[in-house]
Structure 1
Amino acid sequence: MTTPPHLSSQLAVNVLDAHSLLAAFGVLGVGVVMFAETGLLIGFFLPGDSLLFTAGLLCTKTADGSVRLSLAPLLVAAAVGALAGSQCGYLLGRKAGGALLARSRSARLHEGARRAEELLDRYGQAKAIVLARFVPVVRTVLNPMAGALGVPARTFTLWQVTGGLVWSVGLTLAGYALGSSVRGIDTYLLPVIALIVVVSLLPIAVEVLRSRKAAKEARG
């Protein structure tokens, strides 16, 4: 019995590669990955930034690849997945406390939890929830951490929606804008994605520099 071609491509998908995920699952895959990465601790390794940017790029007419997506459904899937995932992670944290994280043996996940706590301590709840969206692993861990640490539900929901929309819609539209202006840009995905990852860390870098400057002025 032969396996249908579309099923074979899904079985062979590389979950660490944005283009492979999009080729196999399309817009639906974006929503599922956004939910898993932001709502489930097992999704910390998924390529959120690169997936959003690549998906936006593949909505353009200038993309030369075989994968073509529609922008409006993509934006909806990305936003719904990111927002629902974060809210789910928060509720799991409130219910299970730190038990879920304690059971994990992943050093990367525990490092993300440490950084999430640092964000909450240094910048306060609102700013930390927004900034965490732009930091891989931290955006996975901060949501259950916020629930476990007793961040009020109204505060968490307001700022996770704000950060989630800026992150998911912003990166998708950035990919779309670049793909619309540069023909064949999808052939240079690896360096472009590396640039996007660096850019996504800029909000944290700016906040670190700002807080150090404020601390220095306070001492002086």
Structure 2
Amino acid sequence: MEDFHWTKLFNPEFYITMEINGVPIGIYMVLFIVFAETGLFAGFFLPGDSLLFLSGIYNRELIETFFIIPSDFSNVIILAVLIAIAATLGNIFGYWFGSRSGNYLYTKEDSFFFKKKYLIDSQVFFEKHGGKAIIFARFLPIIRTFVPIIAGIVHMKKAKFMFYNILSSIMWSFTLVFAGHYLYGFFLDELDIDLKKHIEKIILILIGVTTFPLVMKAIKSRKKETTD
């Protein structure tokens, strides 16, 4: 059995290819992580965008856990829909948590699983963009974990929240899953490059792309503090 190291917890491929007693459970892990990252405030450290992108690459292996479908397009559609549902449910749980007891987070002490700074940054982001923040947040690590909680805290209208929730879940899921699937096919067929052999590079690129807006925001905030 391959030795386990805690750093694998940050590697999306680890979850996608996970097995228990020889039985693949990758699809269950993907759906749970999507739910947890968007519904549980402790899920901010879990892989999100890179997980969906790699799920598009491994779509056949994931869907074959349930049934075998010859059509690649059908596999990708089913996978994207399942992920969108998990993301929608995750946001609903985050909204519910925020509406019921989210205020206590502002008095909660920092820990490994919770940083008050992330909550405050998400609140500023939400106040700036309103309902559209739910859509923008889907594509921003950490922010997407806390924005639905903020929406619950401020008691955003449920109908409005659900509209942006469902729309953002579909956009996020279909964009990244389809990108992973079709880019994998393009690189393999046109350039004879198997992206499965370059997973670490893909993860680093995706992390860089998705965290760039947050890094720039942090730099701007730092400059503003120094000039005030």
Q: Normalising to structure 2: TM-score of the pair?
A: 0.74
Distance 1:131 1:37 in 2: 15
Cα shift at 1:117? 1.2
The residue type equivalent to 2:200 in the other structure is: L
Q: How does 1:66-77 map to 2 (within 5 A)?
A: 68-70=61-63, 71-77=76-82
Name the CA shift for 1:76/1:144 in 2 (closer, same or farther; >3 Å).
same
Match of 1:129 in 2: 134
Residues 38 and 86 of structure 1 are in contact (CA less than 8 Å); yes or no, is this contact kept in structure 2? yes
Of stretches 71-80 and 147-156 in structure 1, the one that deviates more from structure 2 is 71-80
Check the 8 A contact 1:109/1:141 in 2, yes or no.
no
List aligned pairs for 1:117-156, cutoff 5 A: 117-123=123-129, 125-156=130-161
CA distance in structure 2 between the aligned counterparts of 1:13 and 1:22, rounded to whole angstroms: 15
Matched residue, 2:206: 196
Q: Given the superposition, is the C-alpha separation of residues 13 and 122 from structure 1 closer, same or farther in structure 2, using an over 3 Å criterion?
A: closer
- Once residues 93 and 46 of structure 1 are traced to their aligned partners in structure 2, the CA distance between those partners, rounded to angstroms, is 20
Other structure's SS at 2:131 match: helix
What is the distance in 1 between the residues matched to 2:90 and 2:109? 19
Would you say the 8 A contact 2:36–2:90 is kept in 1?
Answer: yes
Aligned-residue offset at 1:199: 3.9
- C-alpha distance in structure 2 between counterparts of 1:102 and 1:140, whole Å: 18
Aligned match of 2:90? 85
TM-score by length of 1: 0.76
Contact 1:27 1:73 in 2 (8 A): no
Q: 2:52 is matched with which residue?
A: 52
1:34–1:9 CA distance, 2 compared to 1 (3 A): farther
**Number of equivalent positions:** 191
Spell out, residue by residue over 1:6-54, the C-alpha distance to the aligned partner (whole angstroms, 9 max, x if none): xx99999933210110111311111111100000111111001111001
Alpha-carbon shift at residue 86 of structure 1 (Å): 0.3
The whole-number CA distance in structure 2 between the counterparts of 1:104 and 1:188 is 40
Gaps of 5+ in 2: 19-24, 64-75, 189-193, 218-228
